[in-house]
Structure 1
């Protein structure tokens, strides 16, 4: 029994339509998930200080411009709120403004990106550098101290209540702010200001860290 060309075309048409629909749905799903995938790869590369991979996921010129603007605004708010009660603060703020460049240089680096993605943004302090984060390599020439000799067993002292509670991990949320902008927000506590890292779309599926919001981002 042979199948006529007409019957064959009738059978192939719905199959082709189904495959096209599946392909389109898969592409839409991947496009939606693409910033989450990029964020995960960005975080892994930052913690590993993988500069080559970070170059694929960080728009350093845009990030530098955003850091400069945000830290400058932070200093302006600090001056406006406090200089009237402390005349010397204005002089200190001027010095701090002159040090915005070095602060931006310090944070527009793999160490700085790692700090931003681990809940440790800059505070706008003169001479500030990114704090140590997971994956920070040891300084050149710095030896790892040998393990201490085991001490003789002694009765354990009674537990003492800690004077300060350990710092809690920041609450993190992530989501689209627009079709071409994806925002990750951190907050250490209900009374603490929020800050955000902003990924911008590059092409259909690619995203790059391009900006931060340090002044209580919404």
Structure 2
């Protein structure tokens, strides 16, 4: 009799673990969308790791600017000077843009026409893909677009926080 309880308890824990693994990313995205639509910036901010997100965006934007500087059409002096000046402004620009209020506006912009990965995530959409990367990370991509853009979420306790973005190449 006792052996049955132990097996039942193990099966229950295993089912809960699998349920968390499969369902928690969708639940997090749903909660973020609801917070943005309700205008609850405090709740939305709980799902975003702002320092990590800022660092990720700065890195992505600087890498993109550096790649742009290497293009042959941008080799003249004025283009290079403009790009170098632009790279110095990236840090301040990202710091000003990635705030709880700004993120709320991103989520609310064009509710009906916005990018599916941001405003329309609900487990039923076929054009949004959640890619798991181990137990600690998942990416949200738009399957309909042929770009490498993605939202990157990392695990914080049993929940998830938006901690980075991959910009399209």
Query: Counterparts of 1:69 and 1:20 in 2: how far apart (Å)?
Result: 44
Q: Which residue of 2 aligns with 1:159?
A: none
Partner of 2:154: 200
Does residue 39 (structure 1) correspond to residue 16 (structure 2)? The answer is no
1:58, 1:210 within 8 Å by CA — same for their partners in 2?
yes
Unaligned runs of 5+ in 2: 118-126
Q: Which runs of 5+ in 1 are unaligned?
A: 1-9, 119-131, 136-165
- 1:214 is the counterpart of 2:157: no
When normalised by structure 1's length, the TM-score is 0.61
Q: Deviations over 1:116-175 (max 9, x none)?
A: 668xxxxxxxxxxxxx4439xxxxxxxxxxxxxxxxxxxxxxxxxxxxxx9996843212
1:83 aligns to what? 74
Match of 1:59 in 2: 49
| Residue aligned with 2:152, SS | strand
Secondary structure of 1:89's counterpart equals helix
Shift of 1:100: 0.7
SS in 2 for 1:99: helix
**Shift of residue 89, structure 1, vs aligned partner:** 1.4
Are the counterparts in 1 of residues 152 and 165 from structure 2 also a CA contact under 8 Å?
A: yes
The 3-state SS of whatever aligns with 1:134 is coil
Aligned to 1:177: 133
Q: CA deviation at 1:87?
A: 3.3
TM-score scaled to structure 2, two decimals?
Answer: 0.76
Q: CA deviation at 1:28?
A: 2.7
* Separation of aligned partners in 1, 2:115 and 2:132: 26
Corresponding residue to 1:28 among 18, 21, 27: 18
Residue correspondences, number: 159
Greater fraction helix: 2
The higher radius of gyration belongs to 1
Please list the CA deviations of residues 34-69 of structure 1 after superposition, one character each: whole Å capped at 9, or x if unmatched.
122112112222344422112221100110110111
